[in-house]
Amino acid sequence: MAPPVRHIAVEATRLLRERRGIGRYVRNVLRLIPAHRPDVRFTLFVRSPREAGAMRELLAGVDPTLPDRTAIEPVSLLPQTSADVVWYAWNRVQPVALRAAMVATINDVASMLQLDRRWWKVVKRVKYRYRYGQAVRRADLVITISEFTAREIQRLLHVDPAKIRVTLLGADDLPAPSGGASVVLERLGIDGPFFLAVGARDPRKNLATLHRAMAILNSRRKEIPLVECGPKDPRARLPFVRYAGYVDDAELATLYQRATALVFPSRYEGFGLPAAEAMWAGGRVVCADASSLPEVVGEAGLLFPWHDAEELAERLARLLDDEELRERLTREGQARAGRFLWAETARRTLEVFDEAVVLRSRGTLKRGLS
C-alpha cells in the first residue's frame, strides 16, 4: 500500500482571481489539510513566475504557516511534478500530470445545461461539455460537492459512480454575526422585516420568480423590502428592491441573521452555499425544491416549487406572521449547519487524495489522456 500523501500539487491558476466561490473552497481546504496531516507540503502552479509574490501574500492571509510549506511554480512545469497527487479544483484537468495521481473537483454541471438560451451560452455549452468530459476521463478520482451533483455527473457524463466521491462544503468560516447594527440596513433605511437575496443574476438563479412573489406579497400588505446583495440589474425598476451591492463577510453574516429569511429561488445549484451560510449565521431559509437545495436545507427550511411565485409568496407571508415558525427554523437551521464544516471538507478531500495514490500505485486505474 502507498504511504499517505505528503506532497500535494494544486492547479491554482485561478486562485488569485476567484476570491469567493471555488476560490474560497480551495483556500479553506489548503488551510485545514495541515491540521489533519502536519507534515504535508504543497506546490501551487500559477500562470507565470510573476504571480509568485501575490500568491505568497494570499497564502499568508489564509494562514501564516502556509507560505513556509508551499512552493510556487509556473503551470508549464505541472506535467513533470514530483508531487504524490495533483488536485484540479476548477472543473478541468489541464495540463495533465505525467506521473502523479490526479483528482478533479466538478463543482456543478450547470454550464452544460440548457438553462440560458442566449446564443453565446449555447456556444459555451459545447465547450464545457467537452472540457468536463475530458476532466472526468483524465482524473483518477472525481470529487463533487453534493449527492445531487454526483448523480448529474453520472447522468450527463456517463461516469462510473465508483469513481466519484462526495465532500460537502463548509460554511463555518463566515464570521459570527455581531449582534450590533448593520451598516447596510442603516444605509438603506430598513428597520423592520425584510427578505434577503444573495448571489449572481444568471437566469438559473431565478430572481424573476422571487420578484413576482414579492410583488404579490406587497400587493396584499404594507411594503416589505427585498435586500439584494451582489450585482445590480440596471434595467430593474422594482419599488420593493433595495440594492446592497457587494458586502463583506461580517456584514453578510449580520444580514443573514437579521433577515426574516434568505430567499434562494435558484433552479439549479451544485451545492447552494448561501443556504448553508444563512443557517450557520442563525438565519432562516426559503428555497426552491430543485437540484441540491433540498439536500442542503433538509427539514430546516421552507421549500417551494421553483417556478411558482404564488406558492413562494405564501411561504413568505407565513414567515412574516408566524413567530413560532421563525423560531423553529432558526433552531433547526443552526443544528443542520453543523454538517457543513470546512475541517470535515478538508479531511474528506485528503482521504480522496490518499485513495487516488493507492489506486494509482496498484495500477487499478485506467487514465484517459485524450
Spatial distance between the Cα atoms of 57 and 45, rounded to a whole number of angstroms: 15
Task: Please name every residue paired with 286 in a beta bridge, in sequence order, or none if there are none.
Answer: 263, 302
Summarised one tens digit per residue, pLDDT across range 310-321 is 999 999 999 999
User: How crowded is residue 315: how many other Cβ atoms within 10 Å of its Cβ?
Assistant: 21
- What value does the mean pLDDT of the chain take? 93
Q: Per the CATH hierarchy, to which homologous superfamily does domain 183-337 belong?
A: Glycogen Phosphorylase B; (3.40.50.2000)
- pLDDT recorded at residue 118: 64
Task: Give the closest residue to 237 by CA, choosing from 219, 215, 220.
Answer: 215
50-64, 130-144, 351-365: segment of lowest average pLDDT: 351-365
pLDDT band at 370 (very low <50, low <70, confident <90, very high): very low
Q: Mean pLDDT, to the nearest integer, of 74-95? A: 97
pTM: 0.93
CATH 3.40.50.2000 domain range(s) in the chain: 7-170+342-362, 183-337
- pLDDT recorded at residue 17: 94
Report the run of H or E that residue 59 belongs to, with start and end. Answer: helix 52-62
One of 3.40.640.10, 1.10.443.10, 3.20.20.140, 3.40.50.2000 is the CATH number of 7-170+342-362, namely: 3.40.50.2000
pLDDT band at 369 (very low <50, low <70, confident <90, very high): very low
Helix axes of 147-157 and 119-138: crossing angle, nearest 10 degrees: 100
Non-local (6+) Cβ contacts of 350 within 8 A are 5, 33, 36, 37
Summarised one tens digit per residue, pLDDT across range 248-303 is 999 999 999 999 999 999 999 999 999 999 999 999 999 999 999 999 999 999 99
